Structure formats: structure tokens, C-alpha cells
């Protein structure tokens, strides 16, 4: 077993066991989506029209929720220092942690999204496509958030700072995610272009996020 | 004098103190000419006198964007060359860039009311400038949170570079999303589409805003250097007092 998979499995195991926050994000997502109709009104036609937007906004906020735990706990118990001194490049270690974070907090959002979409009166035949946009887009949210998590742990007090830094950078993901989801439901714009750009955003942030996060950790903790 | 000589803050301060009065005078002079020319520029046949808002709005927008470019250059200086003045430059430019962006937003809202009939529309250009403003606030918040200037500077430098990669993407995605603002009309292929009677005062005002920006930036860098000296002197004083007491 390589160091990469070992770290990946360790982080997944840690967040699934007691004290980990794996399902908190999905629970928060459920609550946010439940609150929306109270604010907007129970009109099913309106909810069907803005359903994808609610799902995307809920996923965005839910993915922020657990981000500050990404490095903070490792810093507290000193394992972050070990990772930085280890032979594995810090970029790869950070990537492994981010992947584990996405699997435990991003993936549950994608899995519960169809159920919530049902409650928001999103059409059944479009549900698969909307879920697909979340599957393609939530990694980008995690990898952009990774940079913010690294910056705030490097500064040692960044709990409130994190959303302020991260949310403006997630605008493109939100735009193309909702555009693709709307294209799948109402058309007439094709689904392909926004969806492929969304995939491109995820892939680009998969590369750039760990590099920036590793740089932030190195500069912050030296 | 080479750039490397300026790494010494004392030399930099001496240079700034020598240059700053001239810069202030030049800024005032070019502003006087620019405002005079702008005041006597012909009114637009459709928009009337409200077109004069442009003389503040457009230069502020240019400099709001230039602020991020300067901040990115300073970020590279901090991370790559560890130039001691680079983080001072980066920290000093963030509030100035934010202020110019805010001027752009406010004048834009005041201009939008008579011409578009509303203070704010969720149009691509407006939205991306608003996001630029929010990113500036994020960088400033990062500087505020840091206990120690050097650490905050490196974190802010990384955020600045991440923003520099992201800003074109944000711009592109917001353009895709919705657009109403007029397309670029001064800096474009095939020459400007603005008449010379308005273009010349606009360019003079842009020069005046640039001079103002440079003046404010140098003054802010000087203040930041002095502020850091005050901080280290206070720390030293506190230490000597603690030693004397023990």
C-alpha cells in the first residue's frame, strides 16, 4: 500500500468514526433545502423552476461546513508536521486529504441530492442529469476550499475567514453547475457546453488547488 | 539606483520622501487639467451631462483592475524572491485597489440610475467588478487576521495568485451568464469608438488617476514601513521593561 492510499484510507476512516464529521454535511444540506420552501413559499411550480439553484446553493454551503476540519485537527495532534517532513511530496499528501474529504462530505451530498430534488419537484427524467452536475462540480468546491483551509490553518485562526476567502472564488462553479442543471431541465440551451466546462473547472482545481494549498502550508508553518 | 538597493527600507524611505512632493504636485496638476477638460467636454446627445460620470468611472475601473496586477507582482516578489519590500507593497496596495473598485461601483450605480433606470442590475460587468471588490476585501481580511506581518504577507500572496488565476475565469463565466453593459470601446482592436472630444479628457483623467494611485501607494508603503518599525520598537520596549522587572 502506498503512502497515498494509506493517507486516503486513514482520513476516510477518521471522518467516519466517532468525532468525525462525515455525514454532518449531508444533514446540513437536508436542513438548508428544507428551510428554502419556508422562505420562498410552497409553490411547486416555482420550486421546480429554482430547484437546481437551491440544490447547488445548499451543496455549496454544506461543502464549506466541514472544510476547516481538513487540516486543523491534523495540526492539533501534530500529524501535519509529520506529513510535511515525510518523503511523499506535500502536494500529493494534500491531494489525498482533499480526496478523502470529498469522498466523506461531497459524495454524500451527491447521493442525497435526488431525494431532495424530489421534494423540490424537480422532474424525474432530469434528476439524473442534475445529480450528474453535482457529481462533476462538487470536487471543484472541495479543491478550491482546500486552499482556504490551508491558508486559515497557516494563520492559526481562520474559522470565520475561510468562507470569506473561498466563496467569491466558487462563482464560476456555481454558474456552470446551475447552467448545466437548468439546461437539463428546461432547455433550450444544450447540456454539453456548461457541463464540460464544469468538468474542466473540477480538473483544473484538482491540479492547482493542492499546489496552492501545499505552498500555503509550507510558508505558514515554517 | 537598482531595484536591489531599494530592498533597504531606509533607502526606500529616503527615495519616497524625495519623490513624493513632486508626485503630489503632478497629480494635482493633471487632475486640474483633466477635470477642466472633462467639465468642458461636450454632452452626449442621448445621455446629456450624465456622461461626465464616465470620467471618474472608467479610470477607477482600470485602476481597480491594475491594483490586482500590482498585488500579483508583489506576491511573486514575496514568494519567489523574498524581496523585503514586496510584502509591504502588496499590503499597501490592497485597500487602495479596493477603494478604486468601490469608486467604480458607486459611480457606476449613480450613472446607471438615469441611463438604465436602475442603480444595480445583475449584469456581467457589474457582477465581476463586485466579485473583484469582494476578493480585495478577502485579502484585506487575511492581513487583519495574521498576528505576525510576515506570515500574513505570505498567505495573502498565495491568495492573490490564486485570485489572479481565477479572475479571468470568473470574468469569462460571468460574461457567459448574462451581459448588458456595453462592450469595450476604448481599448479594442480597430481603434477607439469614442469621439476625440471625449476621449482626450478621458485619457487625461486616466493619467491623473494613475498618478493618484502611485502617490497613494508610495505613501501607504512608507506608512506601513513606519508602522512596522513602531511595532518592533514597542516589542523591544516591552521586552526591556519585562527584563527590568524580573
Q: List the single best residue of A159, A168, A178 to mutate versus B (max B Cβ within 10 A).
A: A168
Residue A65 or B176, more confident: A65
Measured between CA atoms, the residue of chain B closest to residue A155 is B146
Q: Where do the structural domains in chain B lie, given as residue ranges?
A: 9-40+49-180+194-234
Do B166 and A169 count as a contact with CB atoms less than 8 A apart? yes
Whether residue A168 lies within 8 A of chain B, CB to CB, comes out as yes
What is the C-alpha to C-alpha distance for residues A165 and A148, in angstroms, rounded to an integer? 6
A144 pLDDT higher than 70 = yes
In this predicted structure, the answer to whether residue B2 has a pLDDT above a threshold of 60 is no
Return the DSSP state at B160.
Answer: H
pLDDT > 70 fraction of chain A, expressed in percent and rounded: 93
Nearest CB to B159: which of A165, A175, A197?
A: A165
Q: Which residues from chain A sit within 8 angstroms of residue B134, using beta carbons?
A: 167-168
Q: Which of A40-44, B54-58, B98-102 has the highest mean pLDDT?
A: B98-102
Confidence (pLDDT) at B1: 46
Does the CB of B174 have a partner CB in chain A at under 8 Å? yes
Interface test with A, best of B161, B169, B178 (most A CBs within 10 A): B169
- The model's pLDDT over B28-53, given as tens digits with 9 standing for 90+, comes to 888 888 888 877 777 666 666 677 78
ipTM of the complex: 0.78
Interface of A with B in 106-165 (CB under 8 A): 147, 151, 154-158, 161, 164-165
Average pLDDT score over residue span A158-183: 82
Nearest residue, CB atoms, B145 vs list A147, A157, A168: A157
Q: Which residue of A has its CA nearest to B140?
A: A165
CB nearest A165 (choices: B138, B151, B173): B138
On the question of pLDDT at A57 being above 80, the answer is: yes
Of A158, A169, A172, Cβ closest to residue B145: A158
Q: Which has more confidence, B178 or A9?
A: A9
Q: What is the pLDDT of residue B185?
A: 57
Q: What is the mean pLDDT of residues B175-193?
A: 57
CB A180 within 8 A of CB A195: yes
Please state, in angstroms and rounded to a whole number, the distance separating the CA atoms of residues A166 and B128. Answer: 15
Which range (A67-71, A135-139, B130-134) has the least confidence?
A67-71
Q: Which of A151, A156, A179 sits opposite B159 (nearest CB)?
A: A151
Q: Is the pLDDT of residue B229 over 50?
A: yes
B142 CB within 8 Å of a chain A CB: yes
Distance CA A79, CA A14 (A): 13
Higher per-residue pLDDT: B223 or A159: B223
Q: What is the pTM of this model?
A: 0.82
CB contact under 8 A, A147 and B134: no
- Asked if pLDDT for residue A53 goes beyond 50, the answer is yes
Rounded Cα distance, A164 and B142, in Å: 9
DSSP B180: -
In this prediction, residue A187 has a pLDDT band, given cuts at 50, 70 and 90, of low
pLDDT score of A90: 83
Distance CA A113, CA A127 (A): 9
Confidence of residue B98 (pLDDT cuts 50, 70, 90): very high
The helix (run of H) or strand (run of E) holding residue B130 is: helix B124-145
pLDDT classification of B96: cutoffs 50, 70, 90: very high
Q: Which grid cell is B109?
A: 450605480
Cβ-contact B164, B68 below 8 angstroms? yes
Q: Name the closest residue on chain B to residue A150, using Cα atoms.
A: B155
Query: Are residues B170 and A161, on separate chains, in Cβ contact within 8 Å?
Result: no
Identify whether the C-beta of residue B12 lies closer than 8 Å to the C-beta of residue B85: yes
- Rounded to an integer, what distance in angstroms lies between the CA atom of residue A112 and that of residue A114? 6
Question: Looking at beta carbons, which residues of chain A come within 8 Å of B168?
Answer: none
Q: To the nearest whole percent, how much of chain A has pLDDT over 90?
A: 0
Query: Measured between CB atoms, does B22 come within 8 Å of chain A?
Result: no
Given this model, what pLDDT does residue B227 score?
A: 86
Q: What is the pLDDT of residue B99?
A: 92
For an interface test with B, the pick among A149, A157, A170, A172 (most B C-beta atoms closer than 10 Å) comes out as A172
Picking from A166, A205, A154, the residue whose alpha carbon sits closest to that of residue B154 is A154
The 10s digit of each residue's pLDDT in B128-160 is 888 889 989 988 888 887 777 777 788 888 888
Q: Cβ contact (<8 Å) for A171 and B147?
A: no
Is B80 an interface residue toward A (CB < 8 Å)? Answer: no
| B9-B11-B14-B17 Cα dihedral, nearest 10 degrees | -50
> And the C-alpha cell for A132?
450528474
Interchain CB contact of B141 with A (< 8 Å): yes
Say which range, A56-65, A149-158, A168-177, has the weakest mean pLDDT: A149-158
**B13: pLDDT strictly greater than 60:** yes
**pLDDT above 70 for B236:** yes
Evaluate if residue B198 carries a pLDDT over 80. no
pLDDT beyond 60 at A189: yes
What is the mean predicted confidence (pLDDT) over A103-121? 83
pLDDT over 80 (residue B88): yes
Structure confidence at residue A92 (pLDDT): 85
Q: Which residues of A touch B152 (CB under 8 A)?
A: 155
**Cell numbers of B39, please?**
467639465
- Identify which has the larger pLDDT, B49 or B186: B49
Higher pLDDT, A17 or A150: A150
Amino acid at each position: 500500500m502506498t503512502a497515498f492510499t494509506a493517507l486516503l484510507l486513514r482520513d476516510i476512516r477518521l471522518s467516519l468514526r466517532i468525532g468525525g464529521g462525515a455525514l454532518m454535511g449531508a444533514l446540513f444540506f437536508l436542513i438548508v433545502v428544507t428551510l428554502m420552501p419556508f422562505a420562498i413559499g410552497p409553490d411547486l411550480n416555482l420550486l421546480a423552476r429554482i430547484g437546481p439553484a437551491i440544490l447547488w446553493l445548499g451543496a455549496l454551503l454544506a461543502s464549506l461546513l466541514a472544510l476547516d476540519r481538513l487540516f486543523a485537527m491534523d495540526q492539533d495532534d501534530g500529524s501535519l508536521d509529520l506529513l510535511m517532513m515525510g518523503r511523499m511530496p506535500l502536494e500529493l499528501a494534500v491531494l489525498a486529504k482533499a480526496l478523502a474529504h470529498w469522498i466523506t462530505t461531497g459524495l454524500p451530498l451527491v447521493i442525497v441530492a435526488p431525494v431532495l430534488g424530489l421534494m423540490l419537484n424537480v422532474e424525474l427524467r432530469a434528476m439524473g442529469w442534475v445529480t450528474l452536475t453535482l457529481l462533476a462540480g462538487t470536487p471543484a468546491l472541495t479543491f478550491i476550499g482546500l486552499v482556504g483551509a490551508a491558508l486559515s490553518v497557516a494563520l492559526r485562526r481562520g474559522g470565520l475567514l475561510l468562507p470569506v476567502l473561498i466563496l467569491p472564488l466558487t462563482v464560476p462553479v456555481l454558474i456552470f453547475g446551475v447552467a448545466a442543471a437548468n439546461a437539463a431541465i428546461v432547455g433550450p440551451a444544450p447540456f454539453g457546453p456548461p457541463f464540460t466546462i464544469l468538468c474542466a473547472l473540477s480538473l483544473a482545481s484538482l491540479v492547482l488547488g493542492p499546489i496552492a494549498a501545499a505552498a500555503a502550508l509550507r510558508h505558514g508553518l515554517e | 539606483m537598482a531595484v536591489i538597493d531599494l530592498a533597504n527600507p531606509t533607502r526606500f524611505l529616503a527615495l519616497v520622501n524625495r519623490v513624493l512632493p513632486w508626485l503630489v504636485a503632478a497629480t494635482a496638476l493633471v487632475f486640474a487639467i483633466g477635470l477642466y477638460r472633462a467639465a468642458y467636454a461636450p454632452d452626449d446627445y442621448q445621455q446629456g451631462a450624465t456622461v461626465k460620470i464616465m470620467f471618474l468611472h472608467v479610470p477607477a475601473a482600470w485602476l481597480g483592475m491594475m491594483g490586482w496586477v500590482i498585488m500579483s507582482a508583489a506576491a511573486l516578489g514575496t514568494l519567489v524572491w523574498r524581496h523585503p519590500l514586496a510584502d509591504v507593497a502588496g499590503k499597501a496596495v490592497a485597500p487602495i485597489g479596493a477603494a478604486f473598485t468601490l469608486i467604480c461601483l458607486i459611480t457606476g450605480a449613480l450613472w446607471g440610475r438615469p441611463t438604465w433606470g436602475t442603480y444595480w442590475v445583475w449584469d456581467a460587468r457589474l457582477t465581476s467588478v463586485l466579485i473583484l471588490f469582494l476578493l480585495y476585501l478577502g485579502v484585506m481580511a487575511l492581513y487583519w487576521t495574521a498576528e505576525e506581518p510576515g506570515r500574513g504577507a505570505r498567505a495573502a500572496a498565495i491568495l492573490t495568485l490564486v485570485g489572479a488565476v481565477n479572475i479571468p475565469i470568473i470574468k469569462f463565466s460571468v460574461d457567459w451568464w448574462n451581459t448588458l453593459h456595453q462592450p469595450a470601446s476604448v481599448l479594442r482592436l480597430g481603434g477607439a469608438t469614442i469621439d476625440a472630444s471625449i476621449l482626450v479628457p478621458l485619457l487625461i483623467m486616466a493619467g491623473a488617476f494613475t498618478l493618484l494611485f502611485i502617490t497613494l501607494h508610495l505613501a501607504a508603503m512608507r506608512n506601513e514601513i513606519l508602522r512596522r518599525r513602531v511595532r518592533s520598537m514597542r516589542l523591544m520596549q516591552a521586552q526591556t521593561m519585562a527584563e527590568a522587572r524580573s
